[in-house]
Chains A and B, each alone.
Chain A
Amino acid sequence: MLVLTRRLNEVIQLGDDIQITVVAIDADRVKIGIDAPRTTKIYRRELLEDVMRANREAAQAPAVDLNGKFHTETK
């Protein structure tokens, strides 16, 4: 991981298209502004991880006794 120290209002540039600005600094949090092309996906990491976890859990749904007792059709 590349670690840079920035002061308030300073900017980090990623590649040609992305700028990251320190917008505000508090005792326990940093407000970060991101300029990026619309197609760049930007997530709070913990939210993305929670979504991944929930997706994987969804695949574990119980069988609900479907054997031979249903009519399957594609929607």
Chain B
Amino acid sequence: MTVFTRRFGAVQVPEDKVISFAEGIPGLECMKRSFFIKVEETLPFYWLQSAVDGDVALPVIDPVLVDEGYAPMVEDSVFEELLVAPGQDVLAVVIAVIPDDIRRMSANMAAPLLINLNRNLGKQVVLDSSDYKVRTPIYEAVRGRMKEDLERAGADEKAQ
């Protein structure tokens, strides 16, 4: 299918790459059907683009880049909902907030997206524990890996 996206123009996505979030993502119903877009310039961030609303895409990142030891406890019932077979892998990404002042960027480590890529089923899991924060600062963790454009944006901010 073709999705006309605000950020990336018209994007072709095969149906088997579209992920279903049965309950959507809290606050963003349109993410019920969404898919990943990789943009070299914005690595290590990927984009989770809504297939329903071309205007909406969320920057996401591998939580292990932010916290090497990230290993939250997740109830078995979540894996059942996602139809994860025993021993199968689940992809975990966290949603990032990137404000205009990019040094204040943060990621929601308290509510990762868990995705069963084998069945294209996903869920935002709000973790029980207070070990992780909804707005975990990530600028320091990712700045070394950010592509040039983002780095330059950060440098321009400082010069003001």
- In the assembled complex, which residues on chain A have CB atoms less than 8 Å from the CB atom of B96? 58, 61
Q: Contact: A64 with B150, CB < 8 Å?
A: yes
Whole-angstrom distance between the alpha carbons of A64 and B8 in the complex? 11
Whole-angstrom distance between the alpha carbons of A65 and B17 in the complex? 26
Q: Which of B24-32, B63-71, B137-145 contacts A (4 or more CB under 8 A)?
A: B24-32
Given contacts A38-B77, A51-B134, A70-B39, is CB(A57)–CB(B97) below 8 Å? yes
Q: Which of A38, A47, A62, A66 contacts B126 (CB 8 A)?
A: A47
- In the assembled complex, which residues on chain A have CB atoms less than 8 Å from the CB atom of B39? 66, 70-72
Interface bin, chain A: 20 to 34
Q: Contact: A66 with B110, CB < 8 Å?
A: no
- Taken residue by residue from 28 to 49, chain A's Cβ proximity to chain B (1 for < 8 Å, 0 otherwise) reads as 0000000000110001000110
In the complex, number of A-B residue pairs with CB atoms less than 8 Å apart? 104
Q: Contact: B37 with A72, CB < 8 Å?
A: yes
Whole-angstrom distance between the alpha carbons of A58 and B26 in the complex? 12
Q: Is B149 an interface residue (CB 8 A)?
A: yes
Interface bin, chain B: 35 or more
Q: Contact: B37 with A75, CB < 8 Å?
A: yes
Q: Is A55 an interface residue (CB 8 A)?
A: yes
Q: Contact: A55 with B149, CB < 8 Å?
A: no
Q: Contact: A55 with B58, CB < 8 Å?
A: yes
Which one of A50, A53, A71 has the highest number of Cβ atoms from chain B below 10 Å of its Cβ?
A: A50
Would you list 19 pairs from A and B whose C-beta atoms are within 8 A, ordered by A residue?
A: A47-B126, A48-B26, A51-B126, A51-B134, A55-B26, A55-B108, A58-B58, A58-B95, A59-B58, A61-B57, A61-B58, A61-B96, A62-B99, A62-B100, A66-B7, A72-B8, A72-B37, A74-B12, A75-B36
Residues of chain A at the chain B interface (Cβ within 8 Å): 38-39, 43, 47-48, 50-59, 61-66, 69-75
The 5 closest A-B pairs by CB, nearest first: A52-B27, A75-B36, A61-B98, A38-B77, A55-B27
